A and B are shown apart, each in its own frame.
Chain A
């Protein structure tokens, strides 16, 4: 009998680690080659220290946005019982709707981020898109 697992992408922004479902990420890329208007640098997760890695996220209508992170720590396969939804009180306190829950890794809770919702909270600059 095989236990049900959830594949989690773990990344770091600033000093904090976050988790996301692997299907939210299209790919992992380099920030250097991405146009600036497609980058999401500052978000509800904070400001990254380094701008070397980016998580490419599908933003609908064949549009992609790249969330700039400090480091992509890897892919983890977690048991389903370690993935928890966000408690209502916590959801009510948070201003961003991109935080959907938390996962327990190595005994410590890590926020689970909806990458698509996160990038939607930061629309791209209009003129950049026009260009």
Chain B
């Protein structure tokens, strides 16, 4: 509510009467109003200058407005001071509570101003919200501390596991490197075994052919021995027949010799008359003796032939027996070589399969070695990260403990 302002009480800077007499103009009013417009309310118009002019009422109104505005400004400044004091008190009380950490109480101000009611209500609400936040932060800090401890334990365990894993992977990589070398050696050995098996197979096949040729030769030897045996048997029969004939001849010669002897004897007995007879008898006897000598030689030859045929028969029997044994041995050797061939064939096939498998193993091992190297690198990075995580978890644990300690300072109950 505005109250009328007595412009006379202000006693503005008065001009001389002469000056007023000389008549004030509107420019003074404009100057004062221009000062008002920039917040300078201290200026007043000298009403005496406007005495008798139509501008006197305006000048009075201007001065009254200025008085009124100044009065309200003073009142507003007083209220501002009051509210500022309340705000300062509230802030000071809130700061004091926050510094002391005691959020259990309520804010009570010595200043009672209606304008501060929303502030007090707001500060109370802030305090409640802060109390709630602190409570939640305390619980969260506790949980954080517990969780960070668990994270630290897990990170430590993880770091230890990662280190052990890295060590194992390193050892595995080294082992795989050795295995790679061994696979290479095995592949070369398998190739060599396969080559030797092929050569052995070729040699065994040649041996099989040689044994077949040997058995064929033994069969021919046995056949020849049988033919020789038959020839010897025929020869023996012929010789026996010759022997019989020779015996007959010998018998005849013997009888002829006997007759010749008796003839010679009778011739001799007859004396001169039997002389010619004796000569003939002697000649006959000589012939008979020649025959007997020949038959004796023939008998000796027959004996030699018998011995020779007997030796040939024994040799032939020996040949047949040896050929039979040779065929039997050849058969056994053939069976053995067939078994060996089968075994060598299986060995050759197996060696070839092993060679292929070892080549695949070699390739796979090289891939595994490559993968292990990559895994080792990744594990090394994971180990580094795990160490960092452990450090971070330890730091986090310290921060959580620190946060819990800080939150404990606030009393909310």
Binding site for B on A (CB under 8 A): 2, 7, 9, 22-23, 25, 27-30, 52-53, 72, 74-75, 77
Contacts and interface: CB of A to CB of B under 8 A. Distances in A.
Contacts of B254: 30, 52
B258 A25 contact: no
B269 A23 contact: yes
B261 interface: yes
A28 B268 contact: no
A53 B271 CA distance: 24
Contact of B268 (A22, A29, A52): A22
B230 to A, nearest CB: 38
A7 B267 CA distance: 10
A75 B268 contact: yes
B145 interface: no
B363 interface: no
A28 B264 CA distance: 10
A27 B268 CA distance: 12
A72 B268 contact: no
Given A74-B282, A74-B285, A75-B278, A7 B269 contact: yes
A28 B262 contact: yes
Interface in B262-307: 262, 264-265, 267-269, 271-272, 278, 281-282, 285
B286 to A, nearest CB: 9
Nearest to A9: B265
Contact of B261 (A2, A7, A28): A28
Interface of B: prevailing SS: helix
B94 to A, nearest CB: 173
A77 B268 contact: yes
A29 B258 contact: yes
Interface string B153-175: 00000000000000000000000
Contacts, number: 37
Interface in B225-280: 254, 258, 261-262, 264-265, 267-269, 271-272, 278
Task: Give the size range of B's interface with the partner.
Answer: 10 to 19
B330 to A, nearest CB: 56
Contact of A72 (B261, B267, B272): B261
A75 B282 CA distance: 8
26 contacts: A2-B272, A9-B265, A22-B265, A22-B268, A22-B269, A25-B265, A27-B262, A27-B265, A28-B258, A28-B261, A28-B262, A28-B265, A29-B258, A30-B258, A53-B258, A74-B261, A74-B264, A74-B282, A74-B285, A75-B264, A75-B265, A75-B267, A75-B268, A75-B281, A77-B268, A77-B278
Given A23-B269, A25-B265, A74-B285, 5 more contacts: A27-B265, A28-B258, A28-B262, A52-B254, A75-B264
Contacts of B278: 75, 77
Contacts of A29: 258
Contacts of B268: 7, 9, 22, 75, 77
Q: Which 8 A-B pairs have the closest CB atoms?
A: A7-B268, A22-B268, A75-B264, A28-B261, A75-B268, A27-B262, A28-B262, A22-B269
A118 B249 CA distance: 34
B62 to A, nearest CB: 209
Contacts of A9: 265, 268
B259 to A, nearest CB: 9
Of listed B258, B271, B281, residue having the most chain A CB within 10 A:
B258
Contacts of B271: 7
A74 B260 CA distance: 9
A74 B257 CA distance: 10
Interface string B117-153: 0000000000000000000000000000000000000
Contacts of A30: 254, 258
Nearest to A73: B261
Q: Which interface residue of B254, B265, B272, B282 has the most chain A CB atoms within 10 A?
A: B265
Contacts of A72: 261
Interface-centre pick from B268, B269, B271 (highest chain A CB count, 10 A): B268
B33 to A, nearest CB: 204
A28 B281 CA distance: 13
A9 B268 CA distance: 9
A97 B49 CA distance: 243
Nearest to B255: A30
B250 to A, nearest CB: 12
A29 to B, nearest CB: 7
Nearest to B267: A75
A52 B258 CA distance: 11
Contacts of B265: 9, 22, 25, 27-28, 75
B55 to A, nearest CB: 216
B265 to A, nearest CB: 6
